[in-house]
């Protein structure tokens, strides 16, 4: 079985936490390291959360703190969805290891440079660190297999009517990634809104009865409450692990190779991903966009990882 080496760039975040667990506990993925980026909360908070999730799920990989602001210097937090800590709903253990003494972008560079195989970069937060990596280490780009990101949408947004949160947070970084020429896979709201944490999923977590599954239930209940309040979605969408699942088994989604651009101006549409599904504009195709999810297959992967982590 070939194992895919990845670096996960994330802003934990409830669904980022689950992406970390899926990446660490699926045997087809080798998680080389984690870099953090400000998004769901301030950079210090999401970095602490990454370390605490590692402690909770007994994961030991290098973790480094990345960018605290977008390429243009902006930052905001998604407290309405993820709470004050950016990961409200359960008491998580204290970190069991120290942060790397380098920035997130430096860690990405180090891991890509030192890998004997091409590395896949998976981004589940704003694309700031990934864009900085591409700009600062052009000589390493040949050792990148592809970039998979959770972000954007072929239809409507969630941070603004047309912009999805991760893309809204750093449209300029998204533009750098979309123009990179690297193979890109976009897992936007079209597909992640099919990864719903249903009553049946809660039932599976309860049946596990592990310390880990109990904490995850707490986190998911918080996430379900805020999603219901803000989006009238009582079953919240577990966006970020979809970007890991497509690597584990490409058949978990149905996708289309199309042109994707990011709106950088737009009075009302800044941060929207413009996805040309029917090639109406004839622009160069640059991204494989996941559109439909095999939800049972996705949940089987995700719950297997939680089960394995709970027994570690
Ligand atoms: C994305 O925004 C964040 O709140 C989630 O962690 C996910 O990465 C969904 O729009
Ligand atoms: Ca995220």
Instruction: Please write the tens of the pLDDT for every residue from 256-283.
Output: 999 999 999 999 999 999 999 999 999 9
CB atoms within 10 A of CB 117: 12
Question: Which residues fall within 8 angstroms of residue 168, CB to CB, at 6 or more apart?
Answer: 157, 159, 160, 270, 271
For residue 15, give the ligand 1 atom closest to its CA: 6
Rounded Cα distance, 224 and 306, in Å: 18
> What confidence category does residue 56 fall into, taking pLDDT thresholds of 50, 70 and 90?
very high
> What confidence category does residue 62 fall into, taking pLDDT thresholds of 50, 70 and 90?
very high
The reported pLDDT for the residue numbered 1 is 74
> What confidence category does residue 222 fall into, taking pLDDT thresholds of 50, 70 and 90?
very high
14 is an active site residue: no
Residues in the chain: 312
Report helix, strand or coil for 290: strand
Rounded percentage of the chain residues whose pLDDT exceeds 70: 100
Rounded Cα distance, 21 and 2, in Å: 20
Strand order in the sheet with 253-262: 63-65, 29-36, 4-10, 119-123, 144-150, 184-187, 287-293, 253-262, 273-276
Q: Is the CB of 77 under 6 A from ligand 1?
A: no
182 closest CA partner among 251, 264, 122: 122
Residue pair 144/120 in contact by the 8 Å Cβ criterion: yes
Residue 123 alpha carbon to ligand 1 centre in Å: 11
Q: 150 - beta bridge partners? A: 187
Question: Which residues fall within 8 angstroms of residue 275, CB to CB, at 6 or more apart?
Answer: 152, 153, 154, 186, 188, 258, 259, 260, 289
The reported pLDDT for the residue numbered 198 is 98
Neighbours of ion ligand 2 (CB under 5 A): 11, 13, 16, 124-125, 240
The reported pLDDT for the residue numbered 123 is 99
The ligand minimizing its distance to the Cα of 152 is 1
- From 12, 15, 53, 130, the mutation candidate for ligand 1 (largest count of ligand atoms within 8 A of CB) is 15
The reported pLDDT for the residue numbered 237 is 98
The reported pLDDT for the residue numbered 176 is 98
129 closest CA partner among 90, 96, 174: 174
> Is residue 211 packed enough to be buried (19+ CB in 10 Å), middle (13-18) or exposed (0-12)?
exposed
* DSSP letter assigned to residue 237: B
pLDDT digits (tens, 9 = 90+) for 108-150: 999 999 999 999 999 999 999 999 999 999 999 999 999 999 9
CB burial of 67-80 (b: ≥16 within 10 Å; e: otherwise) equals: bbbbbeeebebbee
Report helix, strand or coil for 102: coil
The ligand minimizing its distance to the Cα of 239 is 1
pLDDT digits (tens, 9 = 90+) for 163-201: 999 999 999 999 999 999 999 999 999 999 999 999 999
Rounded Cα distance, 99 and 259, in Å: 38
> What confidence category does residue 60 fall into, taking pLDDT thresholds of 50, 70 and 90?
very high
Residues 120, 124, 125, 127, Cα dihedral to 10°: 30
């Amino acid at each position: 079985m070939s194992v895919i080496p990845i670096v996960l760039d994330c802003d934990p975040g409830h669904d980022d936490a689950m992406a970390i667990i899926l990446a660490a506990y699926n045997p087809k993925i080798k998680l080389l390291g984690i870099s953090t980026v400000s998004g769901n909360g301030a950079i210090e908070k999401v970095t602490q959360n990454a370390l605490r999730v590692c402690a909770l799920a007994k994961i030991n990989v290098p973790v480094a703190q990345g960018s605290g602001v977008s390429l243009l210097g902006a930052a905001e937090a998604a407290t309405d969805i993820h709470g004050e800590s950016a990961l409200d709903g359960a008491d998580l253990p204290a970190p069991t290891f120290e942060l790397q003494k380098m920035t997130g972008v430096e860690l990405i560079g180090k891991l890509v440079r030192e890998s004997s195989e091409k590395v896949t970069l998976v981004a589940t937060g704003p694309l700031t660190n990934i864009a900085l990596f591409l700009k600062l280490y052009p000589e390493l780009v040949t050792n990148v297999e592809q970039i998979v990101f959770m972000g954007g949408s072929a239809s409507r947004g969630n941070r603004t009517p047309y912009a999805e949160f991760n893309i809204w947070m750093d449209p300029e970084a998204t533009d750098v990634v979309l123009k990179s020429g690297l193979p890109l896979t976009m897992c936007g709201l079209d597909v992640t809104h099919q990864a719903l944490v249903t009553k049946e999923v809660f039932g599976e977590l309860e049946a596990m009865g592990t310390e880990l599954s109990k904490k995850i239930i707490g986190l998911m209940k918080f996430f379900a409450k805020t999603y219901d309040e803000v989006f009238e979605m009582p079953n919240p969408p577990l966006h970020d692990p979809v970007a890991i699942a497509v690597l584990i088994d490409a058949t978990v989604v149905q996708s289309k190779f199309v042109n994707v651009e990011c709106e950088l101006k737009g009075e009302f549409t800044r941060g929207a991903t413009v996805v040309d599904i029917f090639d109406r504009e004839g622009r160069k195709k640059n991204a494989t966009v996941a559109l439909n999810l095999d939800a049972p297959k996705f949940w089987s992967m995700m719950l297997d990882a939680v089960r394995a982590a709970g027994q570690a």
